[in-house]
Amino acid sequence: MSRSALRRTALTAAALAFPVGWVTRAAWGLPTALGAHRRRLRPLVAGSPHWSEGKFHNTLETPALPPANTRDGLLRQWHEERHVGLPGGPIPLASAELPDDAAELAVTWFGHASALLEVDGQRVLVDPVWGFRVSPSPVFGPTRLHEPPMPLEALPQVDAILISHDHYDHLDLPTVRELLTSQSAPFVVPLGIGEHLRKWGVPDYRIVELDWNGTTTVGELTLTCTEARHFSGRYFYRDTTLWASWAVTGPRHRVFFGGDTGYTPVFAEIGARLGPFDLTLLPVGAYNDAWHSIHMDPEEAVRAHGDLGGKTLLPIHWATFNLAFHRWAEPAQRTVAAAQARDMQVVVPRPGERIDVLNPPKTVDWWTEIGSAPADAEDHTQGPGAALLVRAATRLLRIGD
């Protein structure tokens, strides 16, 4: 074979190797990250009153996907507007000094929905996500807009780890693996998520699975699995595990953790039955008209806070990942404005900041100074697989047409 032919052969092989190598890397670890298969889940969850026709259901009719006639517009947003959720500059982080003994009532927010609660001398870690990318793949999917404020191993020992549902920005495989060795607390989860954890090596004695209105006790705390209006799924099969919010009730203080949810009148029932709550952590970000049933906007979160009988509101589910098409600072701005209009107390810590809820600091508007990225900013939060992610989203949106 001539030298030129050898060169062409080598170049062809290299050209073919790149996409094959990229796809191999993108798919690395997918079967594990996806969690338990629906065949394994079904016999464990089918006895729930919220399960029928092969999946879990919200109490209210709740489309998880936009109507077919709006999907093309949503896909155009994915292509054209993903950059609008970027911050205008570096997000300031705090470095909380966590006391040796848990306080009467305090909270440390780590970004998005991850927080450490201190309630009546015990600690509860909620929706911990320390991973770099909220995706089953190491190559595509949203990446963090700021580093974790502290190493996971620096956390003190906690009494329970609460999970709201199995979406990647709330249930993170790398974080679970670290907590498996760095912590000894039980994972308290909605029905079905225990099977994901078992697949990842969490022993049965560290898993407590509950249906809506189920309870368990950890020391003096009662943890109640409460209803949320959302959906679940780590790939194309949806609603095979339950989603939930949580009430953490101690002998003196009560905290409500919303996880991820659309607005529902059931919040008023939860407030009447389990409240009033000294602190609520409610999602205020990743809202869009196309999925208003499953994600609250800031004004709805403030309304839910009132329904729950909440005293202090801490907005979550914003700032850390670019998951929607609103401006980065908008969730905090709208939440504070809506809370002030109703004379409600709101705290907006920087990621990593610890708040003494019984003596909260004056709210300082740090988010407006950061602002949002200019309209011509490039999206750097999805990684090199952004186009592939959009194609996958296209397929998801067209399921059921």
Q: Summarize pLDDT for 181-213 with one digit per residue, the tens.
A: 999 999 999 999 999 999 999 999 999 999 999
* Measured distance CA(108)–CA(58) in Å, rounded: 30
Q: Which residues of the chain have pLDDT under 70?
A: 1-30, 64-83, 375-401
pLDDT at residue 293, rounded to an integer: 94
> In the prediction, which pLDDT does 63 show?
78
Give the residue from 242, 130, 252 showing the smallest Cα distance to 179: 130
> Are the CB atoms for 333 and 324 separated by under 8 Å?
no
What is the structure's pLDDT at 291? 87
Task: Quote the CA–CA distance of 341 and 325 in Å, as a whole number.
Answer: 25
Print the SS3 string covering the chain. Answer: CCHHHHHHHHHHHHHHHHHHHHHHHHHCCHHHHCCCCHHHHHHHHCCCCCEECCEECCCCCCCCCCCHHHHHHHHHHHHHCHHHHCECCCCCCCCCCCCCCCCCEEEEEEECCEEEEEECCEEEEECCCCCCECCCCCCCCCECCCCCCCCHHHCCCCCEEECCCCCCCCCCHHHHHHHHHHCCCCEEEECCHHHHHHHCCCCHHHEEEECCCCEEEECCEEEEEECCCCCCCCCCCCCCCCCCEEEEECCCCEEEECCCCCCCCHHHHHHHHHCCCCEEEEECCCCCHHHCCCCCCHHHHHHHHHHCCCCEEEEECCCCCCCCCCCCCHHHHHHHHHHHHCCCEECCCCCCCEEECCCCCCCCCCHHHHCECCCCCCCCCCCCCHHHHHHHHHHHHHCCC
Nearest to 316 by CA among 360, 292, 285: 285
Return the structure tokens found at 207: 């898993």
